Structures are given as C-alpha cells and as structure tokens.
Amino acid sequence: MATEHIVVVGAGQMGSGIAQVALQAGLRVTLVDVSKEGLAKGADRIRAGLKKLAEKGKLDEARLQAAYANLATAERATEVQGVDFAVEAVTENEELKRRIFVELDSVVKPGGILATNTSSISITRIAAATKRPENVIGMHFMNPVPLMQLVEIIRGAATSEETYQTTRALAEKMGKTTVVSKDFPGFIVNRILIPMLNEACFALMEGVGSVEDIDTAMKLGTNQPMGPLQLADFIGLDTVLYIAEVLHKGLGDDKYRPSPLLRQYVDAGWYGKKSGRGFYKY
C-alpha cells in the first residue's frame, strides 16, 4: 500500500522534524499534540524549516507551497481519519505510548501501519496494545531529523514483512538510509551509544579527567563531532538515564548500570541544554 497521508503524534523537536521530512517528500501530514501551544510551536518550527530550505534553493516555490498546504494539525488523533501511516513521537514513556497506540488503532486504515519513534522501548510490548501487532514497527529517527540521514527500523516479534517493506520505502522516500535491528533493549544505536556516554559519566565521577578533557580526548582521539558529555547534554540527561535503565533492566548485566553521577544530575534537575545546565551551562 502506497503511503500518502501520515499522522505524526507529538509536536516536539522529533515529531516536527519527522513531519517536515514527510512534507518535503510530498506527503500529506497531520501533526497531533494535546497541547495547543505545543502544536502551534511545532507547526511554526516546520514552516520555518521548510522556508529555510527554500531560501537555500533546496526546495522550489511550488513544492514549498504544496508542503504548506499539505500540513494540518489536530489536538487528538481521533479527530483524524483515513490515515495510511502513523508515527508516534512522544516522550519515552511506555504507558503513554501504549495508550496512544490504542487510539491510533482506530484512526489508521485497515492494513495501515503504526510506527513508534521510540529509541529503546520494546516494539513487541507496544504492539501488544493494538489489534494489529503485525502492522506495528519501530521507526527510530535521529535528532535533528531534517539533517540526520539514518532511520533505524525495528521489527517486533509479530511485525510482518509487508509492514517492514512499506516502512523502509517510506523512510527512503523521505531521503533516509535505513538499518534493521531486532527488538532488543536499545536496538543498535543506543545499545552502543548509551554505554559510552554512561562510561564518560563514570570517568568524570572517578576523576579520570575533567569534563573538558574527557570531551576533547574523545573528539580529537576518535574523530567524533562532539564529546560524550556534551552529547549527553544535547540528548537530555534524563533521557540518557532512562535508556541506561532500560538497558540495565532489559539485559540484566551490571555493565549497563547507570552512573551514580548521572542519576544525581537528573535528581538535581540538571538535564542538559534544555534545562540550561548539565555537564555544561547553557
């Protein structure tokens, strides 16, 4: 089934980014968020992103106007009907995601696909909340979505081959490169990334080096664009901690144990860039 109309649930940075690349690909998009203010900000962010592309000559005037016209908004997913494909992009909270998937089950066309942008939560468990687990899949975009090329596709225990192929085709239509992961905690990217960030927290806690020295060492020593502590700040230390806990609980190995320093920073409300303070001050 060709995808023409998608609903994106969550108008934050990830959701608005996903909506933008879908609009650039010529799709009709309905952006959904329970917060009227958040919805307005998300729609403004999308239009600004599209306008910037047009100013750089990457989007002609006809496609820009078509993208503007193809964007609709709603405060509840149940307000939208006739959707081919849904992408959920709300905060990393399993209970919240499962509730949203129950709603999406009634919104998406029979045979249509329900995707989650989760970076760590079991696709199989989310799928079990629906009446169509074979049509549920993980579609993990990287942040910032318009700039990052990768989409990590995660197949749950019941995900059908047709669901996978349709999802892959949609990601490629959005200009992304895909990889496939089995449904294990953290999938591929966070299974490898989060332990590195967590280890940087342990190194700082143990006095191996300062924040600046740890980040400079990893940037220049391993040719990364930013150091692990700065990256953790950009992701959000609360999110890093949550994924570390998912890895620790799901895999049962102490090598995934979250750093006490990371936990302390989160307890203090020092979440990184979004709160103005993490390992750095913003």
Cα–Cα distance measured from residue 240 to residue 116, given in angstroms and rounded to the nearest whole number: 18
Q: Is 14 annotated in some ligand binding site?
A: yes
Annotated binding residue at 33? Answer: yes
Q: Encoding tokens for residue 261? A: 């320093």
Q: Which of 16, 152, 248, 259 is catalytic?
A: 152
Name residue 28's beta-bridge partners. Answer: 5
- What is residue 19's three-state secondary structure? helix
Candidate list 140, 181, 248, 259, residue with the active-site label? 140
The annotation status of 10 as a binding-site residue, yes or no, is yes
119 counts as catalytic:
yes
How many CB atoms are located within 10 Å of the residue 115 CB? 31
DSSP, collapsed to helix, strand or coil, labels residue 9 as strand
Distance of alpha carbon 231 from alpha carbon 234, whole angstroms:
5
Contact in structure between 217 and 250 (CB atoms under 8 Å): no
Please identify which of the residues 16, 119, 122, 198 carries the catalytic annotation.
119
Buried b (16+ CB within 10 A) or exposed e, 175-199: ebebeebebebbbbbbbebbbebbe
Known catalytic residue at 140: yes
Q: Tally the C-alpha atoms within 13 A of residue 218's C-alpha that lie toward its C-beta.
A: 19
How many C-beta atoms lie closer than 10 Å to residue 263's C-beta? Answer: 15
274 annotated ligand-binding residue = yes
Q: What is the DSSP secondary-structure string of 137-174? A: EEEEEPSSTTT--EEEEEE-TT--HHHHHHHHHHHHHT
Cα–Cα distances in angstroms (integers) from residue 154 to residues 134, 136, 143, 252, in the given order: 13, 10, 17, 21
Q: Which two tokens stand for residue 116?
A: 């989650």
Contact 136, 101 (CB under 8 A): yes
Question: 12: annotated binding-site residue?
Answer: yes
Of the candidates 120, 181, 190, 198, the residue annotated as catalytic is: 190
Asked about 172 being catalytic, the answer comes back as no
Q: Is 11 annotated as a binding residue?
A: yes
- To the query of whether residue 223 is one of the catalytic residues in this protein, the response is no
- The answer to the question of whether 15 is labelled as a binding residue is yes
92 is in an annotated binding site: yes
Catalytic residue set:
119, 140, 152, 190
Binding residues: 10-15, 33, 92, 97, 119, 143, 274
Binding residues for NAD(+): 10-15, 33, 92, 97, 119, 143, 274
